[in-house]
Structure formats: structure tokens, C-alpha cells
Amino acid sequence: MSSHVTLALNPAFRVAPVRRRTFGAFVEHLGRCVYTGIHEPGHPSADEDGFRTDVLALTRELGVSSVRYPGGNFVSGYRWEDGIGPAEERPARHDLAWHSTDPNTVGLDEFMAWVSKAGVEPMYAVNLGTRGIEEALDVLQYANAPEGIALSDERAANGHAAPYGISMWCLGNEMDGPWQTGHKTPEEYARLATETARAMRQEDPDLELIACGSSNSSMETFGEWESTVLTEAYDHVDMISAHAYYSEKDGDQASFLASADDMDYFIDSVVATADHVRAKLGRDKRIMVSFDEWNIWYQHRAESRPPSGDDWPVAPVLLEDTYSAMDAVVFGNLLISLLRHSDRVASASLAQLVNVIAPIMTAPGGAAWKQTTFHPFALTSRHAAGEVLDVRLQAPRFENARFGTSAAADAVATWDEEAGDLTVFVVNRGADAPLALDADLAAFGDLELVEALTLHHEDPYAANTQDAPETVTPAINDSVALTDGHLAGDLPAISWTMVRLARRA
């Protein structure tokens, strides 16, 4: 017999409007994300600029709103000017972050051309590892300044007369991490980020600037880093970043299924620290969170080991995790967490978009296909609209090593009052038993059920592959019904479900 998960929903319980930037992604010069991922001139689907149109189509279907570029760890050793001008004249460079060679065939101008084709907003990261203020100003002027100065004239000479108008800029990447080229102490980074932000705002006061926060919630400097950086940079930045990756470790399935508990804790802690600094400084504005790297990533697998020694290949196979049905359920739960915090998470970037821990996979010269994680992202991006609602939930709890106990279900909902559309996203995080969904929707008026889709597989480790790309896909959940304003249905163990309802015409 199923246990129950009871959801309390009301249109008055509003968190914040749904932010389109929640559905951002990330393209880094890492492995095959760029080369044979988004860009492969010899591919049968390649357009006149060498971009794979099959990947562009899947990017649009995925519902990506913004894309962070060019890194990631890669950016901390990157010379942006290597990627402009005639492609045949661009220098190849060793990338220390991933022990690879970058031919610089794709750079800022190519990325902006791809952004235009994909219909997404760019987020550009500057190198504060090996470089600093001058280089940040140079790339800003190249990208955004009108013609009439040296760097904007160089952009025009390269075939791009109009300014790109990039609004969001990351001030470095994971500078708290000892693995990062140019790793900084909190105090060192705080000064560099503040002075870089100050200079960039002298060029354009309307930029949206993102300071580096902690690389994960387990960093020894977590909390102290955010406090030190924001105390120095508060007046000059708009957001602070958060990065988090999750995976099943040592067979601990229960803790993995509860991963969103850590994301909730991470966001709440960063917000608390930012608001403490706000109170200490006596400021009016609130610093927002840019969760600009998040995903499932099995860092212990062989796929994540970079080349070594004298081997510096171009676009090696790196971080090409194959995702399971269970991975997709946890992934969908992380999206629930991000939506739940829409009052403070202003932007998020799924890391990454293609091939590298990605929802989209490609074969060089061959097919592109959807991983299991593609589906909860695409459906949430497509149907989350209006206001995020604060859903109160009652569900059984399960024990796990990392968090002690966790709720066996998690949920969020969005309500588009004007359109009359209510969408509920709910996960069964329990590994052993289905849950009976129970929700009173009378407060929303006369609704009708549009569809209920559930992503689930009897084998939680089942995955999509090039040869079997439809193994794990959402299916209609016929058990879900709406009767006299009461929503009910069955949620299988380890499952993600979306229920769409609409005001009756």
C-alpha cells in the first residue's frame, strides 16, 4: 500500500516570478563541448559557420535561456585575444586546467554568432587567474563598445560592426579552489574582483557583475569566503556565484537521492551571509545568487581523468558521463530547489550543454541524442511560468548517511494567473515504494487536467545511449486525476513527475 505525499498549494503563497535565467547552461572549452559538440565544420548538419544544426535544434528544444562561456577552469588561463581574427592565424595554446590543446578555432566572435542562432543570452567570464583588470577591460571594450576606439574597431574589422551588448559578466571562476590556475585567498580575490568590477563599471555602469562564491558547500572557506568577498565588493557586484555537483558515492543511493537538501542548504547559507554583510554595511540592495554551475557529475569515474604527461590532445573525450533514470530524478529535484529559491537565485547555469556532463550528446560526424537529464530540464523550462508557489509538503521520511533523514518527496509549483495555468513538479525520492499524491487545488478555481508525465524506469540505472536513445523518457501517468478540485495519483519509487492543469474554458 502506498504512503501519501500531501501538497498544500494556494495561489496566494507566492515566492517570486519564474526567472527565465534559471534555465541557463554552460559551454566551456573542455573536452568535446565546443569542438565536435557545438562546432564541427565537417559534419553533415554543419551550417555555413561550422555549427552543428542538430545541436542547435536540441538546444532550442531544451529551452536554454542563457549560456555561460568560455569557462570554467579553462578561463583562468585563457587569453581571449587568441580567439579573434582570421582563424588560420590564431595560436594554439596548452590548456592547463584540462591538460589539452585549444586551437582557438572558436572564440568570442564565433560564440556570439552561435548565441544568436541558438536564441540565448550570453554570460561571459573573464580571466582573473593569470590575468586581471586590463584584460577584463579589453574584452569588455572589444565586445560592447561602439566603433571609434581601437578594440571596437578591431571587432568591426573582424566583421562585427555592431556591439554585442553582453550584460552578464563573471569575475573569474572558482578562485577559492586550490585546483584553479591563479588560486587566490579570500582577501586577494576580494581586492582583485572589486577593482576589476569598479573599472568595468567605469566603462559601462549598467553591467550585471557576478563575483566568485564558493566552489561547493564543503569548502573549508565556505561562508568566510562569501563574507570576505562581499564585505569588499558589495557595492560593485550584483550576484555571487554558487557551484555544486552531485553523484552517487560508494553505493550510497539514499544520500544521492536527497542531494537537493544540500542545494537548499547551500543557497540558504549564501543568502544568509550576503544579508549579514548587507546589514553590517547598511545597504539597501540585496545581493542575488548566480548558481552558474550545477549538475550530476561522477568525478571519480575514468571519464573525468584528464590526459597527462606529453599528451596534450585537442578536444579529448572528457567528463562524458552517461546518465541514468535515477540521475534524471535527482537532476529534476535540483531544478525544483532552484525554482523554490527564485526570490534569491537570479540566474543558474547547467554545466554543461554538450558532451561534457551534458544533456545533449554527439558522435563526431554522426548523431546527436538526448540523455535522461534532457527531459526534466526541457519540460520544466517549457512549462514553468508565472509565479513560483511555496508548496508545503507532508511525506514519509527516509534515512541516509549524509543528511540523517530526508523527506521522501519534494515539490514546487508555478501559477500563471493570467493564462490560468498551474504546473506541479514533484519527485518521489524514495527507493522502495510508490507514493500516493494528494493535493487540494480548490483555491485555484475550476481547473482541468491537461497532462501528467512521469520519468521513471524499473531499473533506476537504465540510461539512454546512441543506439538506444529512448530507453528513459517521460511517459503519460494515467493514474493522475483531478476530481472536484482534488488532485490524486501514484508516483513510482525514484520518479520525477510534472502535472499540468489549466483553468476550464
Q: Which residue has the cell 527507493?
A: 431
Told to judge if 48 belongs to the known catalytic residues of this protein, a careful annotator would answer no
Instruction: Out of 1.10.10.10, 2.60.40.1220, 3.40.50.800, 3.20.20.80, select the CATH number for domain 19-383.
Output: 3.20.20.80
Told to judge if 61 belongs to the known catalytic residues of this protein, a careful annotator would answer no
Q: 356 near 320, Cβ under 8 Å? A: yes
What are the DSSP calls for 217-229, one per residue?
TT-TTTTHHHHHH
Residue-wise burial string across 20-40, b where 16 or more C-beta atoms lie within 10 A, e elsewhere: bbbbbbbbbbbbbbbbbbbbb
pLDDT at 279 over 50: yes
Label residue 273 by pLDDT band (50, 70, 90): very high
* pLDDT value of residue 1: 45
- For residue range 54-64, what is the model confidence (pLDDT) as tens digits? 999 999 999 99
Q: Which residue has the cell 585575444?
A: 81
pTM equals 0.97
Q: Which of 40, 174, 226, 387 is catalytic?
A: 174
CATH number of 3-9+388-503: 2.60.40.1180
Q: In the numeric block, which cell numbers belong to residue 172?
A: 573569474
- For residue range 186-219, what is the model confidence (pLDDT) as tens digits? 999 999 999 999 999 999 999 999 999 999 999 9
Q: Break the chain into its structural domains and give their ranges.
A: 3-9+388-503, 19-383
Q: How wide is the angle at C-alpha 162 spanned by C-alphas 63 and 122, nearest 5°?
A: 25
d(CA 30, CA 357): 11
- For residue range 441-488, what is the model confidence (pLDDT) as tens digits? 999 999 999 999 999 999 999 999 999 999 999 999 999 999 999 999
Mean pLDDT within 308-329: 97
* pLDDT value of residue 2: 62
